[in-house]
A and B are shown apart, each in its own frame.
Chain A
Amino acid sequence: MPIDAAVVTAAVRSCADVIAEHRHELTKLDSAIGDADHGTNLHRGFQAALVRLPDPGDALPADVLKAVSMALVSKVGGASGPLYGTAFLRAAGAVDGAEHLDASQVADALAAALAGVQQRGKAELGDKTIVDALSPAVDAARASVDAGGGAREALRAAADAAAEGAEATIPLVARKGRASYLGERSAGHKDPGATSTTLLIQTLAEQEGCEA
């Protein structure tokens, strides 16, 4: 099955379910080093995205991603709204015009998402942010595609790398976002943004239809 607008739409629905399921866990992580709203805010954003999804019958994958972007920007607020909103917008831009996505385009979309997040948030690897999960995920997806892997393999590699990156944020001292005001006190906690990014990529990796 090619990764068309219907598959991307189904993936967005799965993401919304996963965020709903894990929202309290994300908020709890955020209360340790932030302002205790990451799960609540992201859940609100994905619920809004569900309402705005275009009819997959006459939409391209990019249209779906763009609709998600606009919903997240409008409804999430805080820092994660513009960051995730930009990620989806850039991912949409990377696959603009395509009816189905192949493995290479999936990797391109992830890379564009990362570039958007970094431009918006000015975070580098090791700052204890989304980037610490997304950046290794992009590298792993690209490596998998270069080695001849399909979309499923690329996304699985990305998900594993993201999970590892998110775990590795635990000892880090935050250098961006509200957690950075805590300085050394931010060490010892897993970053909520890196955690939600991992959840999303893991969901894509298990999505039915992501076989291209």
Chain B
Amino acid sequence: MKKLINDPEQVVNESIEGFAAAHRDQVTAHFDPTWVVRNDAPVPGKVGIVSGGGSGHEPLHAGFIGPGMLDAACPGEVFTSPVPDQMQPATKAVDGGAGVLHIVKNYTGDVANFEMAAELAEAEGTRVRSVVIDDDVAVQDSSFTAGRRGVGGTVLAEKILGAAADKGYDLDQCADLLERVNNQVRSMGMALTPCTVPQAGEPTFELEEHEMEIGIGIHGEPGRERMPLESADAITQRLVNAVVEDLPFRRGDEVLLFVNGMGATPLMELYIVYRAAERLLADHGITVVRNLVGDYITSLEMAGASVTLLKMDDELTQLWDAPVKTPGLRWGM
């Protein structure tokens, strides 16, 4: 294992300390239990937006704290769900009287811990609604699995819900909107190389030089299939087709196209994927009206990319365009 760290046991704490120091004008970090909150929380009358999950996906989630996006985030250990002790103070701190929305990625641990946190917060008098994101088409959604994983769609959901809360949507409207976003967003990822959890010290799986894993999760979980490496255009076609066929997106649809890097893929390569994806969508009669390209939901130093499509309409486009000012995403302010 070759990493720029001091102590495998301290990576999350030391990283959050550095993050909070670099952005001290905007966020404050609390430790033991660990949670990060915007400095001006709670915003009176606004629905508080809280998310969280295992660390190792930076800038998700703490990097998206700030006006127009999240009010607080709860980082767990690397690839490990946070615990209710973290969500409880975060939820309380961002309740400006309009309740708090939890944005939860669909993993058994995340869902169970956020569920307990919501029950505890409700018992203390904070209204909480919780919506689970499950946009990964690589996992078959059936009663025979834990269901689809929450991946790239989470970034888009956090941006859109942050804007909605700023605009004055109430808690139920926020929860309804989040469900709608989740229903019309789909993602699919692939990996060229595995990643290594610092505490584990060994890669989560092995890939030969000429191999790739299609349908990868964001924790190095297995994907749909392992196959010989192909060109960027061919790989993009696999990802885009899997996503388009799933929703199903239709001719005439307008979409937000999000090409995400898994952590170790150069932006140069992500734009090669974007180029191919936009052309493929045009062939399907689908118009890209907004886009996002870069490392936003990563998997440590994994090389690879994911493609996310969100079906857009006027409301979602307006919310996407609204100003946002966070360490990880910023425009309009």
Residues of chain A having any CB pair with chain B under 8 Å: 35-37, 41, 73-83, 85-86, 120-121, 173, 175-178, 180-183, 185
Contact = CB atoms under 8 A, between A and B. Distances in A.
A85 B260 CA distance: 36
Interface stretch (B109-117, B242-250, B297-305): B109-117
A181 B109 contact: no
Contact of B146 (A41, A81, A178): A178
A37 to B, nearest CB: 7
A177 B108 CA distance: 5
Interface stretch (B185-193, B215-223, B321-329): B215-223
A77 B145 contact: no
B112 A120 contact: yes
Nearest to B145: A180
B77 A173 contact: no
Interface string B132-160: 00000001000111100100000000000
B79 interface: yes
Interface string B221-236: 1100000000000000
A169 to B, nearest CB: 15
Nearest to B120: A73
Interface residues of B, number: 28
Contacts, number: 77
B217 A85 contact: no
Given A74-B84, A77-B82, A78-B80, A175 B144 contact: yes
Given A73-B116, A77-B109, A121-B108, A181 B146 contact: yes
Contact of B109 (A78, A175, A182, A185): A78
Given A180-B145, A180-B146, A37 B80 contact: yes
A70 to B, nearest CB: 9
25 contacts: A35-B80, A41-B80, A73-B116, A74-B84, A75-B83, A76-B83, A77-B77, A77-B83, A80-B109, A81-B112, A82-B112, A82-B113, A85-B116, A120-B112, A175-B143, A175-B145, A176-B146, A178-B107, A178-B108, A178-B221, A180-B145, A181-B145, A181-B146, A181-B221, A182-B222
